[in-house]
Each structure stands twice: as C-alpha cells, then as structure tokens.
Amino acid sequence: MLNFFRSLTAKHPPATAAAPHSGIHTTLEELLLLRLKAQTLTLPGRSKVMTLLAGGRLSGFRGRGMEFVETRHYLPGDDIRSIDWRVTARSNKPHTKIFQEERERPMLILADFSPSLYFGTRKVFKSVLAAHSAALLAWAAKAQGDRIGGIILSPQQHQDIRPAGGRRGLLRLLNALAQATQATPSADQPRPHIARALQQLRRVAHPGSLLCVISDFHSFDAEAEQHLRRLAQHTDILGIFIYDELERQLPPPGRYSVTDGAHLLQFNSANAATRTRYQQHFAQHYARIQQVFNHRSLRLLPLATHQEVAETLSTAGLSSWQCNDIQLKL
C-alpha cells in the first residue's frame, strides 16, 4: 500500500489556474520573497575552500586578504605593502605580514522532483517544500558571496545549472525550481535516477564545495550511495529528507478512498497490524538513509510538508552541523 501512496498525485488545474500560495505549485515571485526568511540561515562551513575566486570564506590560500595569520621574514618578491614595520624595527630585519585570503565556496543543489514528490496532505506538496528549501539555501549562499548551481531532477527535464555568482546564478536556479513545481506528472512516469545526478556532480563539484541533496530518497540505492561516498571525500554534504505525514503513518481508523487521477483505491485503516506494518515501512526507509549519512559523517535533516521550512532550517543548527541530532518520532 505504501508504494501506492508514493505515487499519489491528484489531478490538479494547470499552473496558470492555481491560486497563489496554493501549496500545489510555487512561482518565481514566491521564491524571490523567501529572501527575507533566509536572513536567519547560516550555511555550514567545515572544509577549506580551494576555489580561486574571491568570496566571503577563508580558504587554504595565503596572500593579501583581511584575516591576519602570521609575520615572517621578508623574502624577495613579497609585496612591500605588507611589510610589518614594527617587527622590522625591533629585529633590524625586514618582516612581512601574511593574511588569509577570502575565497568563495560554490554551493550545488540537487533538487529531486520525482513523481512521488508531487503529493501532500497537509500544507504543501513535497515538490513545493523541496523548491522552498532549495530557494532558502540559495538565498543564504548568495548572502555569503558564494556561487550557486546544481541539478533539477524530474521526469520532464534534467537541468544542469552551472555555478554562477550574484543575482544571475540565483535567478537561474529559482526559475528552474519554480518551473519544476508546475509539472503535472503521472504515476506511470519513470522515476529519475538520483545516482546519475550524483555521478554528474562528481565531475563538477570542486573540493570544498557545499552540496545540498533535497529528496524523499525513494530512488536512493547502492549506486547512489557509492557516488555520495566519493563526493563526501572532498565536499561538505547536507541532505534534506522530504516527507509527508501520510507517508509516516495512516490516518485515523476508518475507510478511505484515494486516487492518482487514473486509479481508485479504497482501504480501511482500522486494522492494527496494517497500521504497524505501514509505520515500520517508513521507519525502515528513513533509518536506512540516516545510516548512510551518519556512516559518512554527513548531515541529514528530516523536513515534513506541514512544517515551516525557514524556521526548521534556521533552528536545525546548520552552521554547527547538528542536523543528525534531530530524530523523527516514529
């Protein structure tokens, strides 16, 4: 039965007819308005940044910058503007100041828009929650001077967005996210394979990059785990596990009818054994994904469709990498 719920997608009106903030779709305007909510977010930073472009993070390079590191003997070729005149006067030998250069860190977002994400029973569809999460992280990255790019993964498109800085890189990603939520997938569409996207990210993710994987992880298999492990060797990774309460547990005991727009199913949620098996199925799925992330010392944050995404991300301890301390009450 859980497999059926994963493909639930009610037939809804076209995107142009959807009411604003309906929770079924999102728009570019909505994602732009998330800028204010993103001000409370601080992206995690753990690895040294090795990119050559200037930005707002300390890198492994030393040269002219704002962060003082040390004073050493002056060597031929050193910038005379960095001479430390006080130490030079005390030692009668020329000394120069060394600063830590500021480098930007590319942030890559893998946003999964598989058919199972076009579903929700509380506040928004899982697809909308994924788009809002990606947009908030992108706004936070822009505020820190980072370049923004990633992959939009859906049955209709596999859009690669090259990392770019400033407003240009941000708008490209936000526009792709909004377009992805406008789709009307059917249950018989093939599920995009997250492993292929992770494999591609291995070719474009530079050392020190931050990778955010936003998905319900239904297509996350051994191949995807292998690519994630390779990426974790030189990038910081944050996973956001998207789910709906109806996936976690059945509704109160009673008879219900559900449809994917083409098929109708009736079920009785009063059976205790069925309810237990249903909960265990979801618990096992989440535990498997959590184990993969924990084993690789990566961070996984569960996020439900009824939660306020900005508040949840803000209180999750992203800046101190505490997401794994968050447990689902199963």
Domain-by-domain residue ranges, the chain? Answer: 2-48+105-325, 54-103
Q: Provide DSSP, 235-257.
A: SEEEEEEEE-HHHHSPPSSSEEE
Ramachandran category for residue 18: left, alpha or beta (phi over 0 → left; psi -120 to 50 → alpha): beta
Given the DSSP bridges, would you call strands 299-304 and 236-243 parallel, antiparallel or unpaired?
Answer: parallel
The pLDDT score that the predictor gives to residue 317 is 58
Phi and psi at residue 323, to the nearest 5°: -60, -30
Give the model's pLDDT for residue 35: 92
Q: 286: closest CA among 237, 248, 229, 235?
A: 248
Other Cβ atoms less than 10 A from the Cβ of 173: the count is 27
Encoding tokens for residue 199?
């494999």
DSSP codes, 305-325? TTS-HHHHHHHTTGGGT-GGG
Do 21 and 76 meet the contact criterion of CB atoms below 8 Å apart? no
Cβ-Cβ contacts under 8 Å for 27 (sequence gap 6 or more):
20, 178
Cα angle, residue 224 at apex, residues 222 and 230 outer, rounded to 5°: 105
290, containing H or E segment: helix 272-295
Rounded to 10 degrees, the C-alpha dihedral 74/76/78/84 comes to 20
CB 294 within 8 A of CB 21: no
- Structure tokens given for 105: 């860190």
Q: Is 195 helix (H, G, I), strand (E, B) or coil?
A: helix
- As averages over each run of 10 residues, the pLDDT of the chain (330 residues) reads 41 41 87 90 57 43 50 80 89 82 74 91 93 94 88 85 85 94 75 90 87 95 94 91 94 85 83 91 95 89 93 69 49
Considering the domain 2-48+105-325, what is its CATH architecture? 3-Layer(aba) Sandwich (3.40)
